[in-house]
Amino acid sequence: MTEMKWHQELNWRPWSYTDFTDPTALIVNGIRGQLRRSNARTDLGLVYDKANSGGHLDWFADSDEWLHGSADEEVWEISSKMFNWRVGESLPEPLPGEIEIARVVISEWMHVDIESGERRKIEALQNVFSIRARWRSGRYRYRVVDDFDSEFSITPQSSRKTLTLAQLIDLLQSGRAASPDFQCRGTGLVEYWWGVELENDLWWVEGFNEDLKE
């Protein structure tokens, strides 16, 4: 069994934020809606599995709901009530040369009644924090955006090199919403949710372009 050396992991940094080696990561990075992004990752995984097993590589023939925002009827019935399908769709358009380097997804458990009368417990998406970077004037410039045009204060705001994993974690831990009335109550981009969502195993950080790591 290989012993994981956390200090080495935390010191790792990608060569570039835009050098994708995994085509799936490249495709989903441009999809803002969280539900469509998840569907895309699942569908593309099925495509690759079929190709690797000797099957015909038939892109999007079996399932392409994420391309036009539809979904399985039953899932759509539930998620549209909880506005799952809208989470992430209202994120601002990327600035020229800007790319998402990490995403924080906030969700919670909710109970809903479907047409059959059955009550189900589902994971209802609430918000997405998109951490973005772009290269300008010899430095990477960072910002955080969400569906509600919230203003965030982050450190660092720029860097000459790409961030290490430890530096990205620090950015998430120290980042704050400018408004004290924001749902995370001015206590950082992640700390408030540790007590609310982490105990339900519903908090995670997507990406940091893991595909860039060899």
Note the pLDDT of residue 91. 94
Note the pLDDT of residue 178. 74
Exposure string for 199-214, b = 16+ CB within 10 A, e = fewer: eeebbeebbbbebbee
Note the pLDDT of residue 11. 92
Identify any residues that bridge with 197 across adjacent strands, giving them in sequence order.
none
Domain ranges in the chain are 18-212
Note the pLDDT of residue 116. 82
Is the model's pLDDT at 66 over the cut of 80? no
pLDDT tier at 60, thresholds 50, 70, 90: very low
Cα end-to-end distance, the chain, whole Å: 20
Residue count of the chain = 214
Note the pLDDT of residue 46. 74
Is the model's pLDDT at 27 over the cut of 80? yes
Model confidence over 85-139: pLDDT tens digits? 788 999 999 999 999 999 988 877 777 777 788 877 776 777 889 999 999 999 9
More confident residue, 199 or 116: 116
Q: 147, 88 in Cβ contact below 8 A?
A: yes
DSSP 172: H
Instruction: Render 77-101 in DSSP notation, one character per residue.
Output: HHHHHTTGGGTTTTSPPPPTT-EEE
Token couple for 82: 């909880």
